Structure 1
């Protein structure tokens, strides 16, 4: 197929994706929010609550990160570092994992992460939000919360998987001949760390 023909077909696919995204936003606008408790977390300073993570905002994005054992979660988190300064102009943002705060800090220092991290170790947060598998393994994704007075509501969530929209690297690779190819550490199959195993 000629280059110009392929470009036209790909442009059409991108228009279809944009239309589907608009349908998703419209569907999400009609969702009845889910009240949640004010979960307790820990960070390097001590204990804090879900309500503390909002900061000055009414909305909050919390990433369900599987911790240092998952190379994909590290890849996703590397991406948050670049957009964090922009996200926090619109909503609160934090990354939650089962790792101890000291482990989170060591990882953040090593990777140069600037976003806040909290540990949900010892709480039912990840399980209640649906990010623990039937086998008891952690699962990656994010939940979005809204503050309504003293009530915290979950308004949306989604799981992560390799190749998704939450890591721009995949979309750069999609443009290359052969896609991801034999990029180190990546296979076509979903790794066990991202399957909740």
Structure 2
């Protein structure tokens, strides 16, 4: 159905229709990429059942995080044991994710892990006002190093990983490896899950150099 808006010029409508064509083509390409992702061959079996801890210090092995689901998404928050504060960008991403946890967990299991103590993570949880994020300590495990979220020198990286139950095993399915691909827009590897940037992309000024601050 042809669309028009009050007082728009013919020039605007022509340009907007051209943009609409590009937007439609982009959506089709996004769907194509999602299909390629869904059709990935089986990934590697989890080398160990990583011994995460809940915020109250109780054992929470990775396998337990799946619950009744067959799929688990884990986001690695950049907040190492020597850090005075968490990464502001990670925190902004998690602010947006916090309100979607209940919806996401109707389909899959979700967790956020950080290489810090349960006590520090509990304090951070209260400070940030997160009410729904399933937050766990990965301190003392090799998870971050094994799954691209920690460099050899101990620096933390904000990687999203997805795992899938396969019979009695758990396999890796997908990782946000675009983080490691050089580009003009590095490291926008999880933009599709981040409302902040997607909303700003609808505006005349776009993202510019905005960096969301910690609360």
Matched with 2:54 is: 43
Matched with 1:97 is: 114
3-state SS of 1:35 partner: coil
Matched with 2:26 is: 17
Q: Please tell me whether the aligned partners of residues 164 and 173 of structure 2 are also in contact (alpha carbons under 8 angstroms).
A: yes
Q: How does 1:118-197 map to 2 (within 5 A)?
A: 118-133=136-151, 135-159=153-177, 161-162=187-188, 164-181=191-208, 183=210
Matched with 2:92 is: 75
TM-score, length basis structure 1: 0.84
Q: 1:135 to 1:166 in 2, by over 3 A?
A: farther
**Number of aligned pairs?**
186
Q: 1:21 to 1:134 in 2, by over 3 A?
A: farther
Matched with 1:6 is: 15
Distance 2:14 2:151 in 1: 44
Q: 1:121 to 1:4 in 2, by over 3 A?
A: same
Structure 1 unaligned segments of length 5 or more: list them.
Answer: 187-197
Shift of 1:135: 4.7
The structure whose residues are more often strand, as a share, is 1
Which of the residues 111, 127, 147 maps onto 1:110? 127
TM-score, length basis structure 2: 0.78
3-state SS of 1:33 partner: coil
Which protein is bigger by CA-based radius of gyration? 2
Distance 1:12 1:107 in 2: 44
Distance 1:51 1:145 in 2: 10
Q: How does 1:56-67 map to 2 (within 5 A)?
A: 56-67=68-79
